[in-house]
Structure 1
Amino acid sequence: MLFCVAVLAGFIDSVSGGGGLIALPTLMLAGLSPVQAIGTNKFQAIFGKISSVRYFLKHGLIDVKKFRLAIVVTFICAGLGGYAVQLIPNQDLVLYIPWMIGLVALYTIFSPRMADIDTSQRLTIAAFSFIIVPFLAFYDGFFGPAASSFFSISFIALLGFSTAKAVAHTKLLLLFANGAAIITFIIGGHIIWQIGFIMAIGQWIGGHYGSKMVHLKGSKIVKPMLISVCFILIGKMIYQSGVV
């Protein structure tokens, strides 16, 4: 079941962001503690990011040199976020996480369509790296769901990127964000390896085909996929509310 969830999450995450909205609640419903669920989710999700970045690099949609500074800032801030979430007691996280997911879901529903965002550049890449990246990277390390959509919309609205190019560079930064956070969760002993590796295979498959879909279809499928994620999430939250 978790393998199938990972395939779906990897596909959705590559297309629109928000795969964690499905994977994280599912891991908690499977019996993992909140910190274990977050750590294991980040471990399995990185394989989807690797698959996506590999695909986008192959098709020339990523410029690594221009974003070296953003990569360094992402790695540091995501590592701090991963460390910070482990300082919060599990009983508190159980109470907070459903509300955090709910807020992300509301954002996802009411966010503008990527195709409707003005694509004129408003920030330099350096300014983007110091002003926007630290907050989003810390959020991804601390929690994570929908970080892809936050990054993608920022790339489009502030740097003027096309949808495909924004998604491609989002996956690049989130690859390093996941890597930094995973290091902190490994040190803390909060990754369930058997589950993580099973879901990693699914993430790789879903991430590959999701990236291909973005490359071929662009913004036409992004918003519908985001809305679909929200409806799935709402159903899971209703079910989870009876468990917490």
Structure 2
Amino acid sequence: MGVLWFLCPVIAFGSFVDAIAGGGGLITLTAYVAVGLPPQTALGNNKFASASGTVIASLQYISRKQVSWAVGLIAIVFSFLGSAYGSYLATRFASTYLHYLLVFLVPALAAFMLLKPDFGRATHHTKAFTLSLGALTGLVMGAYDGFFGPGTGMFLTLIFTSALGLDLLKASGTARVVNLASNIAALATFLMHGVVDFSIAIPCAFSAILGGYLGSHLALRIGSKVVKPVMLFVLALLLVKVVVSML
């Protein structure tokens, strides 16, 4: 019970970050491991809480019509396929090369966000282009989530706005819905394998719901002014995690 005094506030903060820009799992999964949970139990508990928080955040974005279903629906379908393939790759190959790639990719993405003056502004594309790139995004990011995972929601937000032309707030909302689908799929697997400790997962889920509600409410109220700084914060966290993992 003592670990909950540490976990619940951290999980709430991670869910708060996740609801705004994605990438909250970088915070929450680290917290579960820090209190001594076995890796599989940490992953199972993390998915249980994050799915709960993402449900609330997704409902908030949906109610305010800040989800692009033209992009989201096809991305959801292909993210399932990609995640399955990514999980298969994870059993056969080490993620060492991906670590090296991210060390260069993450600073480049941060520079892109800072130096592109129209980043996050809506642009229009043809329906065929939107559907094709939405499917490809779901497939690639689903594979990334299955193979490695950290920062998936943030990468989805980044791609949805920079490549598919969604404004930053709608990109964040669409990413939440797509990420919710992958969370639920992964959670089902963890529940089937019995690696969720409900004495920890349920209180943390309530914390995640609170964080998800507050984060999505803040994003919807303030808009891109809060989403972009939080995305940069998540990129910094991801870079630190990747570098530390390589040491």
Normalised TM-score (structure 1): 0.79
Q: For residue 202 of structure 2, what is the aligned residue in structure 1?
A: 197
Equivalent residue, structure 1, for 2:66 = 61
Q: Please tell me the residue identity of whatever aligns with 1:157.
A: S
Native 8 Å contact 1:42 1:178 kept in 2: yes
Paired residue for 2:55, among 47, 50, 59? 50
Task: Tell me if 1:207 matches 2:208.
Answer: no
Give the deviation of 1:212 after TM superposition. Answer: 1.1
1:164 counterpart = 2:169? yes
* C-alpha distance 124-162 of structure 1, shift in aligned 2 (>3 A): same
List alignment gaps of at least 5 residues for structure 1: none
Instruction: Flag the 1:163–1:53 CA change in 2: closer, same or farther, 3 A.
Output: same
Distance in 2 separating the partners of 1:56 and 1:8: 19
Aligned counterpart, 1:182:
187
Shift of 1:179: 0.9
For 1:177 and 1:228, the matched residues in 2 are separated by 23
Alignment equivalent of 1:38, drawn from 28, 40, 43? 43
- Give the superposition deviation at 1:208: 0.8
Shift of 1:167: 0.7
- Distance across 2 between alignment mates of 1:19 and 1:35: 18
Q: SS at 1:35's partner residue?
A: helix
CA drift at 1:229: 4.5
Query: Which residue pairs with 2:3 in the alignment?
Result: none
Cα distance, 1:80 vs. partner?
4.4
1:124 and 2:155 matched: no
Q: CA RMSD in A?
A: 3.4
For the residue of structure 2 that corresponds to 1:176, the secondary structure is helix
Matched residue type, 1:120: T
Shift in CA distance, 190/138, structure 1 to aligned 2, threshold 3 Å: farther
Identity over the aligned pairs, expressed in percent? 27
Q: Does 1:20 align with 2:21?
A: no
Deviation at 1:173, TM superposition (A): 0.5
Find the counterpart in structure 2 of residue 219 from structure 1.
224
- Shifted more, 102-111 versus 200-209: the winner is 102-111
> What is the deviation of 1:198?
1.8
Label 1:148 to 1:139 Cα distance change in 2 as closer, same or farther (>3 A): same
Gaps of 5+ in 2: 1-5
